[in-house]
């Protein structure tokens, strides 16, 4: 939104856009050589950035952006956020992001969102409709519907967007894509990927007793659109990742890093089938280990590369794929937190977490043309660069919502496969309609509320507490598109 009090001239944001457009128009440089740098920046040419969720990842992101103006900081936990408050003492402090956006209005150019997963979409969607550029930590959203919404809103409002999967801006991802698209390993029909996460608690029963809410925490604002529950320190900070109401488990947390070169390099789009399995699946808490398979249809070809039907496998919780024939003896498959195996008809391409350090199992080193843009700026500052360009002349950063939205739908589809595993069948998915096509009106589902395992006199007893059976179709739909708590709502789907 332009400043309504500045109708007699250019608003500050329009001035930044026009200045960047002018700079872009003065120099024509190939994308590969440009590296995202569009001329020199005047000292006064800075964005006014607000951060929401600044105690953990948010603080790290904002420090990458400190060459800009950090004008507002918002967090529901002021003890956890104190280090950010102290580091940016001139920034105005808020508990509630809604009040921040309302009060500061056009004085904010861009918003960084690094809250718990379940509030990403709410904050980002409302900021976008106000014309703010947004950077959202991974996973982009909590649900398929929320991902679709952010994708469409970003397109409608023409703002610069970026998901915080930092490996997307790395050399490894670019190199992996180039090797794949130059047909260096042949046709890829299977991909296996894994992470060593979780490194936070999962597979937990809900605490039997609540605790007093600390004075430094606004529990109601943390809960946000989710169903209210008594406070317990096991939920936040950090540990929210392991609770279904607030996070997406190890898969949602790390697949946005690890599967990005898979999604982009193989031009995946929507899966058509999915199934999952795990250790004990609880109603409230993500399991300690999971395995998922998603099937993607034939996608034709891209350049030299054929894109046949492909199965993408995911493992977490300490599980890894079996090492393929020819794997170097003694070599750890886990590279910085995970890894990927692209099984081609001619070779196997291996990458580490974040797509880092790709290599071929054959030992050959491909020599291929550089077709992907090399980003000289940080993942965060490349987004800033995009914010300062006009929509008409913008060179998108490496993980804009146009791509990150559909990619995140794939990631949270894996979560759905795990949570619907007790249906005991492979789920068929219509990506365009965002619905499962083979869950019938008569099927029911129930989940384990509490694991009542105990040992008495050396003998185990298994006393699991289950939910009542509910409609499987309604349960699945709620996972695809959440019903928010009263007082919280998203903008309409464009």
Domains in the chain, number: 2
Q: Is residue 412 part of a domain?
A: no
- What gap in Å lies between CA 406 and CA 479, rounded to an integer? 17
CA-closest candidate to residue 427, choices 380, 374, 470, 473: 473
Looking at the fold, whether 156 and 247 belong to one and the same domain comes out as no
Question: In this structure, is residue 53 part of a structural domain?
Answer: yes
458 occurs within a structural domain: no
Chain centroid offset of residue 353 CA: 15
Tokens of 87: 């580091």
Same domain, 278 and 257: yes
Query: For residue 73, what is the domain's CATH number?
Result: 3.40.50.720
Per-residue tokens: 408: 């995140």
**Sign of the alpha-carbon torsion through 450, 451, 453, 454:** negative
Domain boundary among 360, 387, 420: 360
Using CA atoms, how far apart are residues 216 and 297, in angstroms rounded to an integer?
50
Element (H, E) at 191: strand 188-195
Determine how β-strand 69-74 pairs with β-strand 92-94.
Answer: parallel
Rounded to whole angstroms, the Cα distance separating 404 from 400 reads: 6
Residue among 69, 64, 54 nearest 114 (CA): 54
Residues 235 and 298 in one domain: yes
- Structural tokens at position 122: 């709410």
Query: How far is the C-alpha of 9 from the C-alpha of 377, rounded, in Å?
Result: 33
In angstroms, the CA 377 to CA 383 distance is 9
Q: Based on the fold, state whether residues 251 and 395 are members of the same structural domain.
A: no
Residues 113 and 218 in one domain: no
Q: Which of 331, 360, 389 is the last residue of a domain?
A: 360
In a domain, 470, yes or no: no
Give dist(CA 23, CA 36) in Å, integer.
Answer: 13
pLDDT of residue 27: 30
Last residue of a domain, one of 360, 391, 424: 360
Residue 67 counted as domain residue: yes
Helix (H) or strand (E) holding 57: helix 57-64
Residue 59 lies in a domain: yes
Burial label, 493 (beta-carbon count in 10 A; 0-12, 13-18, 19+): exposed
Is there a single domain that holds both residue 102 and residue 235? Answer: no
In this structure, are 354 and 282 located in the same domain? Answer: yes
- The answer on 42 and 14 residing in a single domain is yes
Report the CATH number at residue 187. Answer: 3.30.360
Alpha carbons 310 and 65: distance in angstroms, whole number: 39
How far is it, in rounded angstroms, from Cα 91 to Cα 84? Answer: 10
Spatial separation of the C-alpha atoms in residues 349 and 17, rounded to whole Å: 41
Two tokens at 317? Answer: 């919780």
Does residue 386 share a domain with residue 280?
no
Predicted TM-score (pTM) of the model is 0.90
CA 136 to chain centre: 8
Residue 105 domain boundaries: 4-167+375-400
Distance CA 379, CA 386 (A): 11
Are 260 and 210 contained in the same domain?
Answer: yes
Digit-by-digit pLDDT tens for the chain (494 residues) are 333 333 333 344 443 444 444 333 333 233 333 333 333 333 458 999 999 999 999 999 999 999 999 999 999 999 999 999 999 999 999 999 999 999 999 999 999 999 999 999 999 999 999 999 999 999 999 999 999 999 999 999 999 999 999 999 999 999 999 999 999 999 999 999 999 999 999 999 999 999 999 999 999 999 999 999 999 999 999 999 999 999 999 999 999 999 999 999 999 999 999 999 999 999 999 999 999 999 999 999 988 999 999 999 999 999 999 999 999 999 999 999 999 999 999 999 999 999 999 999 999 999 999 999 999 999 999 999 999 999 999 999 999 999 999 999 999 999 999 999 999 999 999 999 999 999 999 999 999 988 877 787 887 777 888 889 999 999 999 999 999 999 999 999 99
Contact yes or no for 467/415 (Cβ under 8 A): no
**Is residue 285 domain-shared with residue 260, that is, in the same domain?**
yes
CA distance 418 to 291: 8
At a CB cut-off of 8 Å and minimum separation 6, what does 212 contact? 231
| Residues belonging to the chain | 494
> How distant is the alpha carbon of residue 221 from its chain centre?
21
The answer to whether residue 139 is domain-embedded is yes
- Kindly give the residue spans of alpha helices, DSSP state H, lying in 141-236: 144-157, 171-181, 219-223
Place of tokens 């464009």: 494
Is 286 within the bounds of a domain?
yes
Chain centroid offset of residue 53 CA: 15
44 contacts: CB under 8 Å, gap ≥ 6: none
**CB-based contact 204:285 (threshold 8 Å):** yes
- My answer on whether 315 and 345 are in the same domain is yes
Q: What is the DSSP letter of 251?
A: H
- How many Å from the N-terminal Cα to the C-terminal Cα in the chain? 17
DSSP letter, residue 422: G
Tokens of 398: 């490496």
Q: What is the pLDDT of residue 464?
A: 84
The alpha carbon torsion through 271, 277, 283, 288 (nearest 10 deg) reads -110
H or E segment and range at residue 16: helix 12-26
Task: Name the CA dihedral angle for 264, 266, 267, 268, rounded to a multiple of 10 degrees.
Answer: -100
């Amino acid at each position: 939104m332009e400043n309504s009090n500045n109708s007699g001239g250019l608003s500050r944001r329009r001035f930044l856009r026009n200045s960047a457009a002018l700079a872009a128009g003065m120099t024509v440089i190939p994308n590969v050589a440009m590296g995202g740098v569009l001329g020199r920046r005047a000292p006064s040419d800075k964005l006014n950035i607000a951060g929401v969720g600044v105690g953990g990842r948010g603080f790290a992101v904002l420090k990458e952006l400190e060459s800009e103006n950090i004008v507002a900081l918002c967090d529901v936990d002021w003890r956890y956020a104190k280090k950010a408050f102290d580091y940016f003492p001139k920034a105005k402090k808020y508990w509630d992001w809604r009040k921040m956006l309302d009060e500061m209005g056009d004085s904010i150019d861009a918003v960084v969102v690094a809250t718990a997963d379940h509030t990403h979409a709410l904050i980002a969607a409302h900021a976008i409709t106000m014309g703010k550029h947004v950077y959202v930590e991974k996973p982009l959203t909590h649900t398929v519907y929320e991902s679709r919404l952010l994708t469409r809103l970003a397109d409608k409002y023409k703002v610069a967007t970026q998901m915080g999967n930092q490996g997307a801006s790395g050399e490894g991802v670019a190199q992996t894509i180039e090797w794949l698209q130059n047909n260096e390993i042949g046709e890829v029909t299977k991909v296996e990927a894994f992470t060593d996460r979780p490194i936070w608690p999962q597979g937990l029963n809900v605490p039997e007793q609540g605790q007093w809410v600390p004075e430094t925490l606004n529990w109601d604002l943390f809960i946000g659109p989710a169903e209210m529950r008594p406070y317990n320190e096991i939920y936040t900070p950090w540990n929210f990742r392991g609770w279904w109401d607030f996070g997406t488990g190890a898969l949602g947390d790390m697949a946005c890093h690890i599967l990005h070169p898979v999604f982009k390099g193989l031009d995946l789009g929507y899966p058509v089938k999915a199934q999952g399995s795990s250790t004990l699946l609880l109603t409230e808490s993500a399991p300690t280990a999971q395995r998922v398979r998603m099937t993607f249809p034939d996608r034709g070809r891209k350049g030299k590369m054929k894109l046949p039907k492909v199965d993408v496998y995911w493992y977490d919780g300490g599980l890894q794929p079996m090492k393929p024939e020819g794997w170097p003896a003694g070599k750890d498959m886990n590279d910085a937190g995970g890894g990927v195996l692209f099984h081609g008809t001619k070779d196997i391409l291996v990458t580490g977490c974040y797509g880092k350090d790709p290599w071929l199992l054959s030992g050959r080193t491909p020599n291929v043309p550089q077709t992907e843009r090399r980003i000289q700026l940080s993942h965060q500052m490349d987004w800033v660069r995009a914010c300062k360009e006009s929509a008409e002349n913008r060179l998108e950063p490496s993980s804009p919502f146009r791509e990150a939205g559909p990619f995140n739908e794939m990631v949270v589809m894996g979560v759905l496969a795990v949570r619907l595993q007790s249906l005991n069948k492979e789920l068929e998915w219509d990506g365009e309609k965002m619905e499962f096509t083979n869950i019938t009106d008569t099927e029911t589902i129930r989940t384990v509320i509490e694991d009542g395992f105990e040992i008495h006199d050396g003998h185990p007893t298994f006393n699991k507490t289950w939910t009542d059976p509910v409609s499987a179709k309604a349960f699945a739909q709620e996972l695809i598109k959440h019903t928010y708590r009263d007082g919280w709502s998203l903008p309409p789907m464009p």
